[in-house]
């Protein structure tokens, strides 16, 4: 418990008193009939802590109200120092996210999951009368089942400090007792509790390896949908959704464009199996869609493999039920957000993450070419839509007001447009290979016999097509089995670079500082400070901090000592910097790695808020604390990714700054002493640190 409080305190330093009177926002998660209201009433009547129950069913003067009303009521209560129960179903991540967003740093966010059998919930609904939410009688079964279908697994990464699962009535009783006994100054320990372990004997082993992500759930859902509605085989193929290139703002002739789309698509689908293309347009009156439809039918292209779809390309799954692996963006040559149309929409929906990931790949784009950018798992497009890649593509321009105007030269224009589509489709083929290769487990789950052969096929494909792409081929022959299990976690191709290095260091040894039996030391490719190295575990299956358990303490300790050793080396060359050793709560690269970073943060690679906050909030977990926590509780405390969105604050004096350049010029000068928290327990290493014995 102490560990939790102290790692918070360097975000927003507070006095001890304030710390002890934290409020709790507890979100009840469960379908109608799971007993949410009963739970709240039981706790409220017994507790010494002031609780307020916010219930959407009654918030509008005793009648059903809006989510906004719930949010306001919750925030008001928290501001008065009261703790809050949110009593609505909250089965979907998006529903929960709004509540989490509105809480300040004085509030602990809990989830209480009433995961009772659907039968129980339904029969309770059927039996009751006058329930506030008006879910009773025969409708109940339908509603409960529907809600349970849309249910999304909870994850501490959503921002909860604690999630308590109840599987049955006796669990519920216990948890009621626990919350009832929670005094105004008490705090429940963080983490996940009571998670299901019995029911899914088969799923259990798989769950160990899966980070449940929206993408996987979506694909599961789709499979269910596909089998029930007979939607055809196409649903299982990786799908590229693309807008018509160059026909909007670039004013390319629609008839010519539709010919090129259909021919390029047909060509591509002949060569590449098990993929699907979807031409998307916002309007159902779209001329290009109807032209393409006509021509596709004439040519007899398989409708499982080429479809036209009317909808918003950024909401194909959530609004249209169309699951796409990749979406194409009709980009501008500078690969910049904004402008209008598809480009603006995609950058807006994907969030800053796309802008950052794009810049890491390319600065500009030539007409007729494309670049595939893996979406970080933090991106809403990834989480909500299941999109793993955005492929930027630039077509020819026939608009005199825009750059690279072709003066109506359609010979050139058509060639460039063909190049654009073929580049786009090729990029997608690589993405599809990676993605397919990543989920053999899902295939196996569904159909054991065909899964085997499919898997082999995929591997062959990858081998033949991506021979020089190190991310897919390296380390393959080694650790084949483990690799497949863990691969199901959806790391993008670039996020595997460290993993590949760890599995096959000899191949990359030129860039490595040290190779030991259980770890490797290397320079961070995008150093965020003058000295920034990674100590990379070589243990296969230890992907990230979340995986680190007691059995890993020896390796965590040897990684820590290696880090300290390198700090000593750096300090012997230059005694001025301070160093921290720590892990990101949610890493962007697969394979557990310890960051060893000097506290100057003087680096052009430190470009944005996310970069800064990943090293200067509780998102960064000091190695010493991680080791302590695992020794004590068996796992390390993780912080949610929302910390990355926090305002920019100097890591020394804690002053706030509006943007990175201002922050950087401040930290270059700031000589305030480091926060007391960092000065304890050797979290901060410097030449004056006694533990180091530099001389
Ligand atoms: Zn990292
Ligand atoms: Zn400062």
Distance 608 CA to ligand 2 centre (A): 18
Identify which ligand lies nearest to the alpha carbon of 654.
Answer: 2
Q: What pLDDT score was predicted for residue 441?
A: 31
User: Beta-carbon neighbour count of residue 305 at 10 Å?
Assistant: 22
Whether residue 544 has pLDDT greater than 90: yes
pLDDT band for 690, please (50, 70, 90 cuts): low
User: Beta-carbon neighbour count of residue 140 at 10 Å?
Assistant: 22
CA distance 322 to 300: 22
In this structure, what token pair is assigned to residue 567?
Answer: 């700090």
Distance 655 CA to ligand 2 centre (A): 6
Mean pLDDT of 359-377: 89
Query: Which residues line ion ligand 1, judged by CB < 5 Å?
Result: 584, 587
| N-term to C-term CA, the chain | 37
Residues 6+ apart with CB under 8 A from 333: 364, 365, 366, 367, 394, 403, 404
Whether residue 390 has pLDDT greater than 80: yes
Q: What pLDDT score was predicted for residue 263?
A: 95
Identify which ligand lies nearest to the alpha carbon of 667.
Answer: 2
Whether residue 482 has pLDDT greater than 60: no
61-65, 298-302, 482-486, 653-657: which is most confident:
653-657
Distance 587 CA to ligand 1 centre (A): 5
Burial readout 17-53 (b: 16 or more C-beta within 10 A, e: otherwise): eebeebbbbbbbbbbbbbbbbebbebbbeebebebbb
Q: Tell me: the pLDDT tens digits for 208-242?
A: 333 233 333 344 433 333 333 333 445 568 899 99
Distance 585 CA to ligand 1 centre (A): 9
Q: Are 310 and 289 a contacting pair, CB within 8 Å? A: yes
Whether residue 472 has pLDDT greater than 80: no
Residues 6+ apart with CB under 8 A from 396: 246, 250, 252, 367, 368, 404, 406, 412, 413, 414, 416, 417, 420
**Residue matched to tokens 């790692």:** 7
Distance 19 CA to ligand 1 centre (A): 30
Q: What pLDDT score was predicted for residue 557?
A: 96
Report the Cα 625 to chain-centroid distance in Å.
Answer: 24
Do strands 648-649 and 276-281 pair parallel, antiparallel, or not at all (unpaired)? unpaired
Q: Are 425 and 240 a contacting pair, CB within 8 Å? A: yes
Q: What pLDDT score was predicted for residue 94?
A: 77
Q: Tell me: the pLDDT tens digits for 554-572?
A: 999 999 999 999 999 999 9
Q: What pLDDT score was predicted for residue 172?
A: 92
DSSP notation for 200-264? -HHHHHHHHH----HHHHHHHHHHHHHHHHT--GGGGS-EEEEEPSSSSTT---HHHHHHHHHHH
Q: Are 179 and 26 a contacting pair, CB within 8 Å? A: yes
Identify which ligand lies nearest to the alpha carbon of 656.
Answer: 2
Distance 618 CA to ligand 2 centre (A): 18
Task: Give ipTM to 2 decimals.
Answer: 0.91
Q: Are 121 and 141 a contacting pair, CB within 8 Å? A: no
Tell me the C-alpha to C-alpha distance, in Å, between residue 164 and each of 196, 202, 594: 11, 23, 30
C-alpha torsion sign, points 542, 544, 547, 550: positive
Q: What pLDDT score was predicted for residue 435?
A: 67
Cα within 13 Å of Cα(463), Cβ side: 9
**Residue matched to tokens 């709240």:** 40
Q: What pLDDT score was predicted for residue 469?
A: 36
Q: What pLDDT score was predicted for residue 588?
A: 86
**E-state strands within 288-424:** 306-310, 326-330, 370-374, 389-393
In this structure, what token pair is assigned to residue 257?
Answer: 């464009």
Identify which ligand lies nearest to the alpha carbon of 498.
Answer: 1
Mean pLDDT of 609-614: 95
User: Beta-carbon neighbour count of residue 160 at 10 Å?
Assistant: 23
Mean pLDDT of 420-437: 83
Mean pLDDT of 628-633: 95
Distance 658 CA to ligand 2 centre (A): 13
Tell me the C-alpha to C-alpha distance, in Å, between residue 274 and each of 233, 240, 443, 584: 9, 12, 14, 37
Whether residue 430 has pLDDT greater than 50: yes
pLDDT band for 615, please (50, 70, 90 cuts): very high
Distance 689 CA to ligand 2 centre (A): 22
CA distance 314 to 310: 12
Mean pLDDT of 530-558: 94
Whether residue 200 has pLDDT greater than 80: no
Q: What pLDDT score was predicted for residue 203?
A: 34
pLDDT band for 606, please (50, 70, 90 cuts): very high
Q: Which domains does the chain have, with CATH numbers?
A: 22-203 (3.40.50.300), 216-437 (3.40.50), 440-487 (no CATH), 494-692 (3.30.428.10)
Q: Which residues are catalytic?
A: 593
**Residue matched to tokens 């970080």:** 376
Q: What pLDDT score was predicted for residue 446?
A: 31
């Amino acid at each position: 418990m102490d560990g939790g409080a102290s790692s918070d305190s360097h975000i927003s330093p507070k006095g001890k008193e304030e710390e002890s009177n934290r409020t709790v926002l507890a979100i009840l998660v469960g379908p109608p009939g799971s007993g949410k209201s009963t739970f709240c009433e039981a706790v409220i009547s017994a507790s010494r802590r002031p609780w307020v129950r916010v219930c959407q069913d009654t918030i509008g003067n005793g009648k059903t109200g809006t989510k906004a009303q719930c949010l306001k009521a919750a925030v008001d209560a928290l501001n008065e120092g009261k703790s809050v129960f949110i009593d609505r179903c909250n089965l979907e991540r998006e529903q929960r996210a709004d509540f989490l967003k509105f809480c300040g740093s004085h509030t602990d966010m809990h989830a209480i999951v009433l995961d009772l059998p659907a039968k129980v919930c339904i029969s309770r609904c059927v039996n009751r009368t006058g329930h506030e939410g008006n879910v009773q009688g025969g409708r109940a079964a339908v509603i409960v089942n529907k809600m349970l279908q849309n249910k999304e697994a909870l994850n501490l990464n959503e921002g909860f400090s604690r999630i308590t699962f109840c599987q049955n009535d006796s669990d519920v009783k216990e948890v009621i007792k626990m919350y009832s006994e929670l005094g105004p100054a008490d705090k429940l320990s963080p983490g996940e509790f009571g998670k299901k372990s019995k029911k899914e004997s088969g799923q259990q082993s798989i769950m160990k390896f899966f980070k449940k992500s929206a993408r996987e759930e979506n694909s599961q859902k789709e499979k269910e949908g596909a089998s029930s509605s007979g939607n055809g085989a196409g649903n299982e193929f990786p799908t590229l959704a693309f807008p018509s290139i160059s026909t909007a703002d670039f004013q390319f002739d629609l008839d010519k464009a539709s010919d090129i789309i259909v021919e390029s698509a047909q060509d591509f689908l002949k060569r590449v199996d098990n993929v699907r293309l979807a031409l998307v347009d916002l309007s159902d009156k779209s001329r290009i869609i109807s032209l393409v439809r006509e021509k596709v039918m004439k040519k007899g292209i398989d409708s499982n493999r080429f479809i036209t779809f009317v909808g918003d390309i950024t909401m194909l799954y959530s609004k249209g039920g169309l699951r796409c692996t990749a979406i194409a963006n009709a980009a501008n040559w500078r690969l910049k957000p904004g402008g209008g149309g598809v480009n603006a929409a995609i950058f807006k929906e994907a969030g800053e993450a796309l802008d950052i990931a794009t810049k890491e790949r390319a600065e500009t784009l030539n007409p007729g070419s494309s670049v595939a950018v893996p979406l970080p798992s933090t991106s809403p497009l990834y989480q909500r839509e299941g999109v793993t890649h955005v492929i930027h593509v630039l077509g020819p321009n026939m608009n005199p007001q825009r750059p690279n105007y072709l003066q109506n030269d359609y010979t050139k224009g058509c060639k460039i447009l063909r190049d654009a589509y073929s580049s786009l489709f090729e990029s997608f083929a690589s993405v599809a290979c990676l993605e397919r290769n990543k989920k053999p487990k899902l295939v196996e789950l569904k159909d054991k016999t065909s899964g085997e052969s499919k898997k082999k096929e995929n591997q062959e494909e990858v081998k033949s097509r991506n021979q020089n792409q190190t991310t897919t081929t390296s380390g393959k022959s080694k650790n084949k089995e483990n690799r497949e299990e863990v691969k199901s976690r959806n790391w993008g191709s670039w996020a595997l670079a460290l993993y590949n290095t760890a599995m096959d260091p000899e191949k990359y040894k030129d860039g490595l500082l040290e190779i030991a039996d259980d770890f490797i030391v290397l320079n961070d490719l995008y150093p965020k400070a003058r000295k920034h190295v990674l100590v990379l575990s070589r243990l296969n299956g230890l992907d990230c901090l979340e995986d680190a358990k007691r059995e890993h303490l020896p390796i965590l300790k040897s990684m820590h000592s290696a880090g300290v050793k390198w700090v000593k080396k750096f300090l012997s060359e230059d005694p001025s910097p301070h160093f921290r050793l720590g892990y990101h709560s949610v890493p962007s690269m697969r394979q557990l790695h310890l960051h060893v970073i000097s506290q100057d943060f003087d680096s052009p690679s430190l470009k944005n808020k996310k970069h800064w906050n990943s090293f200067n909030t509780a998102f960064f977990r000091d190695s010493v604390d991680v080791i302590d926590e695992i020794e004590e509780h068996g796992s390390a405390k993780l912080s949610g990714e929302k910390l990355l969105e926090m305002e920019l604050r100097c890591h020394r004096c804690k002053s706030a700054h509006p943007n990175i350049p201002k922050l950087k010029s401040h930290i270059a000068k700031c000589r305030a002493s480091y926060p007391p928290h960092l000065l304890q327990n050797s979290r901060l290493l410097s030449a004056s640190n006694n533990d180091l014995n530099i001389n």
